[in-house]
């Protein structure tokens, strides 16, 4: 069985086509890999920025807002509350800022969690527990990686929350806790955070599948473009070959056929000066010689 056709034209076309497909696939694959890498890198930078903002917001509450409002509360007895959640809880404050930022970066999610939390919503899930334990065991205070939660993969960056003495005012015992905090969260027992302990973590989540999907789409688009460009190049090469090689060869073959049948009167048309033109000229000289001999024989 023959795999390749007789015609050189089609052999070349098939050959270039196979190279085109291989190149399209290679470009698609390389683009995909590059896109994934650069998407991960971009995400990492964006998470870094998000975490930096979160930490800055927390720091601002702790060092500026909270002391200032404490001062006002103690100075003006007309203020009923002993604690103003919206301005004095760094977690509450940072969480709200992050939600607002989330409108710009909808993929991003922030979770501030701790064992024995004030707000039950901030109880660590299985994966967060694992990472908090990792902080405890390794003494490192940040973590970055791809983790699976509820069958979905996330790109995660986390930093450890270490307890300081001043945290105990609200996260220590019920008796020390501001009445307003008790009223809002109604804790049933002392949170009992211990100074120096890694109590929780701040987690930024970005779904990894969306990163992958974008990279896949880019890979497919660029691979297709490479493939189409290849097909166009193949087309142009075939048109050129047809015009300068295959057509003139066909004309020569027709005339050689005629000569072989004894029809030697038609002059062989020569259109070019290239290798095929030279071949044509040689044929023409041969035809003229044969004609002379035939005329002599008559
Ligand atoms: C003046 C009170 C107050 C102080 C002091 C305070 N927090 Fe909080 N913290 C809160 C409140 C209120 C919440 C719950 C916010 C919410 O509903 O998300 C909270 C929540 C948190 C959470 C999320 C887990 C949870 O308990 O719900 C972390 C983590 C946290 N705080 C860390 C700290 C650290 C670390 C310090 C000390 C550097 C600190 N906090 C000091 C009031 C305080």
CATH code, 269: 1.10.8.500
pLDDT value of position 3: 65
DSSP class of residue 89 equals -
pLDDT value of position 2: 63
CA–centroid distance, 112 to ligand 1, in Å, is 9
CA–centroid distance, 90 to ligand 1, in Å, is 6
Question: Which residue puts its alpha carbon closest to atom 12 of ligand 1?
Answer: 89
In this structure, the number of other CB atoms found within 10 A of the CB of residue 121 comes to 10
Residue 276 Cβ inside 6 Å of ligand 1? The answer reads no
Q: Which of 154, 151, 158, 147 is nearest to 212 (CA)?
A: 154
Q: Per-residue pLDDT for 85 more than 80? A: yes
Q: Is residue 4 part of a domain?
A: no
Q: Are residues 28 and 140 in the same domain?
A: yes
Where helices occur in the chain by DSSP H, the ranges are 8-60, 66-75, 85-88, 90-102, 126-138, 168-171, 179-185, 208-241, 247-260, 275-297
- Which of 171, 174, 196 is the best mutation target for the ligand 1 pocket, counting ligand atoms within 8 Å of the beta carbon and taking the most? 171
pLDDT value of position 233: 84
For the segment 165-216, what is each residue's pLDDT rounded down to a tens digit?
989 988 999 998 988 888 888 998 899 899 999 999 999 988 888 778 888 8
Which atom from ligand 1 is nearest to the alpha carbon of 191? Answer: 26
CA–centroid distance, 259 to ligand 1, in Å, is 102
Residue 118 Cβ inside 6 Å of ligand 1? The answer reads yes
CA pair distance 144, 132, nearest whole angstrom? 12
Indicate the number of domains in the chain. 2
Q: Where are the beta strands (DSSP E) in 124-197?
A: 142-149, 152-162
Q: Are residues 191 and 260 in the same domain?
A: no
pLDDT value of position 64: 94
pLDDT value of position 100: 84
By residue range, what is the domain housing residue 42? 11-217
Residue 65 Cβ inside 6 Å of ligand 1? The answer reads no
pLDDT value of position 140: 93
CA pair distance 220, 227, nearest whole angstrom? 10
CA pair distance 240, 253, nearest whole angstrom? 19
For the segment 244-296, what is each residue's pLDDT rounded down to a tens digit?
888 888 888 999 899 889 888 888 887 788 888 999 999 899 999 989 988 88
Q: Are residues 16 and 123 in the same domain?
A: yes
Q: Across all residues in the chain, what is the average pLDDT? A: 87
DSSP class of residue 64 equals I
3-state secondary structure of 32: helix
Which atom from ligand 1 is nearest to the alpha carbon of 162? Answer: 35
CA–centroid distance, 295 to ligand 1, in Å, is 115
Question: Which residue puts its alpha carbon closest to atom 38 of ligand 1?
Answer: 167
CA dihedral of residues 5, 11, 14, 17 (deg, nearest 10) = -170
CA pair distance 129, 199, nearest whole angstrom? 10
Q: Is residue 227 part of a domain?
A: no
For the segment 105-161, what is each residue's pLDDT rounded down to a tens digit?
788 888 899 999 999 999 999 999 999 999 999 999 999 988 888 888 898 999 999
Q: Taking the chain, what is the end-to-end CA distance rounded to the nearest angstrom?
A: 49
Residue 95 Cβ inside 6 Å of ligand 1? The answer reads yes
CA pair distance 165, 172, nearest whole angstrom? 9
Q: Are residues 82 and 211 in the same domain?
A: yes
pTM as predicted: 0.72
Q: Are residues 188 and 84 in the same domain?
A: yes
- Using alpha carbons only, how large is the chain's radius of gyration in Å? 40
Q: Are residues 241 and 175 in the same domain?
A: no
Q: Per-residue pLDDT for 5 more than 80? A: no
Q: Is residue 267 part of a domain?
A: yes
Q: Is residue 208 part of a domain?
A: yes
Give the pLDDT band (50/70/90) at residue 4.
Answer: low
What is the percentage of the chain residues whose pLDDT exceeds 70? 99
CA–centroid distance, 52 to ligand 1, in Å, is 18
């Amino acid at each position: 069985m023959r795999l390749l056709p007789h015609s050189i034209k089609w052999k070349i076309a098939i050959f270039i086509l196979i190279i085109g497909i291989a190149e399209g696939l290679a470009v698609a694959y390389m683009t995909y890999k590059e896109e994934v890498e650069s998407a991960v890198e971009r995400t990492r930078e964006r998470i870094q920025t998000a975490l930096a903002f979160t930490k800055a917001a927390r720091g601002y509450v702790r060092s500026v807002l909270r002391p200032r409002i404490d001062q006002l509360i103690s100075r003006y007895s007309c203020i009923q509350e002993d604690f103003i959640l919206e301005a004095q809880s760094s977690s509450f404050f940072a969480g709200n800022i992050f939600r607002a930022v989330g409108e710009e970066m909808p993929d991003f999610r922030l979770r501030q969690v701790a064992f024995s939390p004030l707000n039950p919503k901030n109880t660590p899930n299985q994966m967060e527990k694992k990472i908090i334990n990792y902080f405890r065991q390794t003494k490192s205070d940040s973590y970055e990686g791809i983790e699976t939660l509820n069958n979905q993969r996330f790109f995660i960056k986390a930093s450890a929350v270490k307890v300081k003495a001043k945290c105990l005012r609200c996260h220590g015992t019920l008796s020390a806790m501001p009445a307003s905090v008790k009223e809002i969260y109604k804790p049933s027992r002392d949170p009992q955070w211990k100074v120096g302990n890694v109590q929780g973590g701040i987690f930024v989540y970005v779904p990894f599948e969306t990163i992958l999907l974008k990279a896949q789409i880019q890979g497919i688009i660029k691979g297709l473009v490479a493939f189409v460009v290849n097909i166009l190049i193949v087309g142009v090469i075939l048109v050129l070959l047809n015009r300068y090689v295959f057509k003139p060869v066909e004309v020569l073959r027709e005339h050689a056929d005629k000569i072989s049948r004894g029809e030697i009167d038609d002059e062989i048309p020569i259109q070019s000066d290239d290798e095929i033109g030279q071949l044509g000229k040689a044929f023409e000289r041969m035809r003229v010689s044969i004609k002379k001999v035939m005329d002599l024989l008559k």
